[in-house]
């Protein structure tokens, strides 16, 4: 990755936060055990900061520190890596959380492209008929979505981005990301556009 920050402890962490606000990084990597300000406190400050709250954070921790990992996940950590670690593994983890973050937030999806996809799907439904499962274009699915997932999905299909969905539902952006991740996993899709296509094809939303 070309754009990431590392926290090294104490004054360095304060500098990392200041620098991060000026040039928003793709990802932040921090040790969980540091003098003055530990990784959990740094993570909390990042999540409480309006500018940096959505930046992915990877925490480094000693082997076997289960409680640290649980506390970190509860505070909004995106991934953990136990020490000692292979540098290539760290690069792979950072690349993975950045890609996941971009997929969740639609960084690789232009709004115009998403709306064009919706228009195409709507056209296919009208052309092929929407007479229900087996009679039209709607596909059967055994995937069950919870009410909060359905709410997020409906807004996503309107072409809204993560921040806009969060504002409409009074949820945090992190919570919206969690719900999107859960739906990605349930439906077997990789990004927002694929999820919208799945939703329309299976009749989970009405256009």
Q: Which long-range contacts (CB under 8 A, 24 or more apart) does 110-118 make?
A: 111/159, 111/161, 113/193, 114/159, 114/192, 114/193, 114/196, 115/159, 117/193, 117/196, 117/197, 118/157, 118/159, 118/196, 118/200, 118/207
Question: Tens digits of per-residue pLDDT, 113-136?
Answer: 656 666 666 665 555 544 444 444
Average pLDDT over all residues of the chain: 75
So what's the pLDDT on residue 151?
93
Across 2-11, 28-37, 113-122, 176-185, least confident range: 2-11
Q: How far apart are CA 158 and CA 160, in angstroms?
A: 6
* Cα 187 to chain centroid, rounded: 16
Higher pLDDT, 187 or 12: 187
Residue 38 burial (CB count, 10 A): 19
Average pLDDT over residues 168-188: 87
Q: How confident is the model at residue 34 (pLDDT cuts 50, 70, 90)?
A: confident
Reply yes or no: is the peptide bond before residue 84 cis, omega within 30 of 0: yes
In the predicted model, is pLDDT for residue 111 greater than 60? no
Question: Tens digits of per-residue pLDDT, 38-88?
Answer: 788 888 888 888 778 878 889 888 766 778 778 877 778 888 888 888 888
So what's the pLDDT on residue 190?
81
Buried b (16+ CB within 10 A) or exposed e, 111-126: eeebeebbeebeeebe
So what's the pLDDT on residue 207?
58
So what's the pLDDT on residue 149?
92
Across 12-26, 38-52, 189-203, least confident range: 12-26
């Amino acid at each position: 990755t070309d754009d990431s920050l590392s926290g090294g402890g104490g004054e360095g962490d304060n500098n990392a936060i200041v620098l991060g606000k000026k040039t928003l990084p793709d990802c932040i990597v921090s040790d969980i055990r540091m003098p003055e300000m530990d990784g959990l406190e740094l993570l909390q400050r990042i999540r409480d900061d309006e500018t940096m709250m959505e930046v992915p954070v990877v925490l480094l921790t000693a082997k076997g520190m289960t409680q640290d990992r649980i506390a970190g996940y509860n505070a909004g950590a995106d991934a953990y890596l136990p020490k000692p670690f292979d540098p290539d593994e760290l690069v792979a983890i950072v690349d993975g959380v950045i890609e996941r973050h971009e997929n969740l937030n639609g960084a690789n999806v232009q709004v115009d492209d998403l709306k064009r996809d919706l228009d195409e799907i709507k056209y296919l439904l009208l052309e092929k008929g929407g007479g229900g499962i087996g009679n039209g274009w709607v596909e059967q699915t055994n995937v069950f979505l919870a009410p909060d997932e359905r709410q997020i999905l409906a807004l996503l299909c309107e072409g809204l981005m993560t921040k806009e969905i969060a504002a409409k539902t009074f949820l945090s952006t992190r919570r919206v990301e969690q719900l999107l991740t859960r739906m990605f996993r349930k439906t077997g899709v990789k990004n927002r556009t694929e999820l919208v296509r799945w939703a329309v094809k299976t009749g989970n939303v009405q256009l």
